[in-house]
Each structure stands twice: as structure tokens, then as C-alpha cells.
Copies of this chain bind each other. A is one copy, B any other.
Amino acid sequence: MSFSKLLLASKEESESNICVGLDLASYKSRKEQTLQISEKKADVILNLIDSLSPYCCSFKVNRQYILDLSLSQIQMITSKAHDCNRPVIIDHKISDIGASNVQMLYHCKQEGFDAFTASPFPGNVKEICDISHSYGLSSIILVLMSNPEAEWMKKSFLDGLPLFQHFAKLTNKYADGAVVGSTGYIGMKELKIIAEEISGKFILSPGLGAQGGEIEKLLIVFKEDVIFNVGRAIIYHKNPVEVIKKYNNSVKSVYYSLGK
């Protein structure tokens, strides 16, 4: 089943549109937020999936955070999520030429992921989206990233269009979903431009939590098509279940306040 279909079923079952970012920093790799992960990283992730899956619609794993895990550990993680009826995105942000993309797809499929993120930077969105389907993987294209430095894409133009609009067009034509941040530099103006280009695709929105993103503007524009990624604010908290419940309530209350 495609990621979109798995996601739809999972959203219905969980009544949540929170995607949990299982991005546990390696011990000693940074000063803050490592106390909780002196245990083995894979075990902590498995426990998080167990406790959080009733309250989320999907999981996302950033490739940079699992470079120290083995293939079998990664397979245990994706299997556990699937046992809980939750699809898993590998946030790979692949940015490579065709032959290398094939290797990435091959390995991500072996690892058990359902969807992957890809950068439009190499200019080969059509190619990677076309190939991905033969691997049974869904593609999610970076349209506007959550970090503030990505603002340059609002000021850059291709054929008279801002770059992010161009990437939104490509996403709509070839991909299964788009990454659109919820952080401050992305305003209603940009979101509306993206929404006019993309229809019938899901929007993966990073930035809530540690990055200070906002729920309302995304819900106004993309309605039920949006899923919000929350990582650090949930997984490093002493009570992750309490936190995700709060996020679910926040999203619901904003959603209903918008009269939908």
C-alpha cells in the first residue's frame, strides 16, 4: 500500500496528524538533551514507538541521526512501527545524481521505510519520483524547509517564479508529498502560493516544537492535508505521551476554531 493510503488509515485510527520525529542525538554529540539517551539508541526508539503510536499518525527518522545504527536495528524500528500500523518516513533529503539515488532507494526499501524526503536541488525530481514507485516508496519533496536560512528561496527566481513555487509545481506533477515548514519566515503569502500549485498531496510540515513553528497558518491553507512533524519537543520530554496529547489537542482546537 502506498504511504498516502497508509497515512490516511493511520490518521483515522489515531485521530492525530502528528508525525513523531524519532531523532535521538548520539551520546556526547552535543551538550544538551543527551542524558536520556545513554541507553542504547535503538531501544529508546523502539520504546518511543510503542508508547507514542496510539497518539500519532506516522513516524519520521532523519538519516543523520541513525548513521550509527545497523541495518538490522533500522529494520527493527520500521517493523515495530508497522506492527503498530504506522508508516515511517526516512528524512533522507537525498540530493544526488540518478545512479546514487537508485542506491539510496534500494537501501531505504531494504530498511523498511515507506517514504523518503528528497531535495529538488539536483534538478532530477521527475527522475527520482518515477524510479521511487518501482521500489514501492513514496517521494516527499523539500519545497520550503523549516530553518530560517532557507528564506533565500523566497528571493530566488526561475522563469519569473520564486524557486519554492517552481518546486511546488514539480511536487504536484511528480511527487507524493511536499515538505513545507511551519516556522516564522514562511507566511500566508508563500503558503497560499504553494497551495495553489499543489493539490491532492500531503504536506509534511516540520518546525513545531524546538523550532517554534505555528499550527494555524498551515491548517488554514492546507486543512486536513497537513501532518505536523514534532521531534525534540516530544522525544526528549520526561513524559512524551503527555506532550503529544497536548499537540493533538492544540491541532484539534485550532482546526475546530477555524470552523472545519
Q: Does A110 contact B (CB under 8 A)?
A: yes
Roughly how many angstroms separate A198 CA and B250 CA in the complex, as a whole number?
49
Q: Closest residue to A159 on the B side, CB-wise?
A: B155
- Other A-B pairs, 12, CB within 8 Å; known A119-B119, A123-B147: A23-B100, A62-B100, A64-B107, A67-B103, A93-B94, A93-B96, A95-B119, A95-B121, A97-B147, A99-B210, A123-B145, A123-B151
Provide the A201-217 mask, 1 if CB < 8 A to any CB of B, else 0.
00000000011000000
Q: Closest residue to A152 on the B side, CB-wise?
A: B123
Determine if A102 and B29 form an interchain contact, defined as CB atoms under 8 angstroms apart: yes
Roughly how many angstroms separate A29 CA and B158 CA in the complex, as a whole number?
35
Find chain B residues with CB under 8 A from A71 CB: 68
A residues near B (Cβ < 8 Å) are 23, 25-26, 29-30, 62, 64-65, 67-68, 70-71, 93-104, 106-108, 110-111, 119, 121-124, 127, 142, 145-147, 149-153, 155-159, 163, 210-211, 232
Determine if B156 and A97 form an interchain contact, defined as CB atoms under 8 angstroms apart: no
> How many whole Å from A123's CB to the nearest CB in chain B?
4
Roughly how many angstroms separate A121 CA and B152 CA in the complex, as a whole number?
9
Find chain B residues with CB under 8 A from A64 CB: 94, 96, 100-101, 103-104, 107
Find chain B residues with CB under 8 A from A108 CB: 67
Determine if B121 and A147 form an interchain contact, defined as CB atoms under 8 angstroms apart: no
Nearest 7 A/B pairs, CB to CB: A123-B149, A67-B107, A29-B106, A97-B147, A64-B103, A156-B158, A121-B121
Roughly how many angstroms separate A97 CA and B94 CA in the complex, as a whole number?
14
Roughly how many angstroms separate A67 CA and B94 CA in the complex, as a whole number?
13
> How many whole Å from A151's CB to the nearest CB in chain B?
7
Would A127 and B102 be within 8 Å (CB), given that A64-B96, A94-B64, A157-B157 are in contact? no
Roughly how many angstroms separate A119 CA and B142 CA in the complex, as a whole number?
13
The interface centre, meaning the residue of A26, A93, A95, A157 with most chain B CB atoms within 10 A of its CB, is A95
Find chain B residues with CB under 8 A from A93 CB: 94-96
